[in-house]
């Protein structure tokens, strides 16, 4: 099957699976990651077919919504790509990217093995930053029944993926436990430039948030 047709059908499949999801991991998140990945890839020599498929399938079954199961995403992505008769080497590459893409805690390395993986990881992390990232943080927190902010609960540095997965911190703590750390974790020059701007947006938001929290605005 023609590569463009496979990408188009994969996009339609993911759209049908994730449309209307309310935690910030919906089709439009995937769409933005897809388009960000293409933008970043425009400055790199990579296999665009792998980049597009990995971007589209990276949240097909996020561990956060499947009892911490890290294997279900790569498994379902592989099954879909096999049904589309995609080359096995491409399937393995895409599934490895999906396996490795997630942030796993401040003290846990998340190194991508290929340039294609670096691009998709950057695109996904960019969508957790800036105005979109702020919006998604509170959408996810509300979906999980977490407090918006609790000044008696301090942010943690998670030194293992298991510790990170079991965290029940507030949405504001999530900024310090993950979102504000992403700027230094970007892989590509293009993503680093975008991340600098989005990082400042989050810093400005937090400054205003705490002024209002203390009644000093």
The model's confidence at residue 157, banded by pLDDT at 50, 70 and 90, is confident
Of 68 and 160, the one with more pLDDT: 160
| Contact (Cβ atoms closer than 8 angstroms) between residue 13 and residue 100 | no
The model's confidence at residue 70, banded by pLDDT at 50, 70 and 90, is confident
Instruction: Round the average pLDDT of the chain to a whole number and report it.
Output: 91
pLDDT at 79: 95
pLDDT at 112: 92
Q: CA angle at residue 203 from 200 to 205, to 5 degrees? A: 110
Give the pTM: 0.93
DSSP conformational letter for 26: S
Task: Locate 51 and state its tokens.
Answer: 């980049």
End-to-end CA distance of the chain: 59
Q: What is the pLDDT of residues 7-16, one digit of tens each?
A: 999 999 999 9
Is the per-residue pLDDT at 33 higher than 70? yes
Share of the chain above pLDDT 90, in %: 75
pLDDT at 152: 94
CA distance 71 to 136: 24
Q: CB-based contacts of 123: which residues, under 8 Å, 6+ apart? A: 32, 33, 34, 36, 37, 39, 40, 55, 191
- What is the mean predicted confidence (pLDDT) over 51-73? 79
**In terms of Cα–Cα distance, which of 103, 99, 109, 121 is closest to 46?**
121
Q: Where do the H-state alpha helices sit in the chain?
A: 3-18, 27-41, 48-57, 72-83, 88-100, 115-126, 130-143, 161-165, 171-177, 189-213
CA distance 74 to 94: 8
Is the per-residue pLDDT at 66 higher than 60? no
Which CATH number fits the domain 3-213, given the four candidates 1.10.3210.50, 1.10.357.10, 2.40.50.140, 3.40.50.410? 1.10.3210.50
Is the per-residue pLDDT at 126 higher than 70? yes
């Amino acid at each position: 099957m023609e590569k463009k047709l496979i990408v188009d059908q994969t996009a339609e499949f993911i759209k049908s699976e994730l449309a209307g999801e309310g935690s910030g991991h919906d089709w439009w998140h995937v769409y933005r990651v897809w388009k960000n990945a293409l933008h970043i890839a425009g400055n790199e020599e990579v296999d665009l077919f792998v980049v597009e498929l990995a971007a589209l399938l990276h949240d097909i079954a996020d561990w956060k919504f499947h009892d911490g199961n890290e294997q279900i995403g790569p498994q379902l992505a592989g099954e879909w790509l096999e049904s589309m008769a995609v080359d096995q080497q491409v399937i393995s590459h895409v599934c490895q990217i999906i396996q490795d893409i997630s942030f796993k805690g401040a003290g846990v390395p998340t190194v991508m093995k290929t340039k294609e993986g670096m691009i998709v990881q950057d695109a996904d992390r960019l969508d957790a930053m800036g105005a979109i990232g702020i919006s998604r943080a509170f959408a996810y927190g509300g979906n999980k029944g977490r407090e918006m902010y609790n000044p008696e609960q301090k942010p943690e540095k998670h030194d293992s993926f298991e510790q990170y997965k079991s965290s029940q911190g507030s949405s504001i703590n999530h900024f310090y436990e993950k979102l504000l750390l992403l700027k230094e974790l970007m892989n590509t020059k293009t993503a680093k430039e975008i991340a600098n701007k989005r990082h400042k947006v989050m810093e400005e938001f937090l400054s205003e948030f705490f002024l209002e929290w203390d009644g000093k605005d």
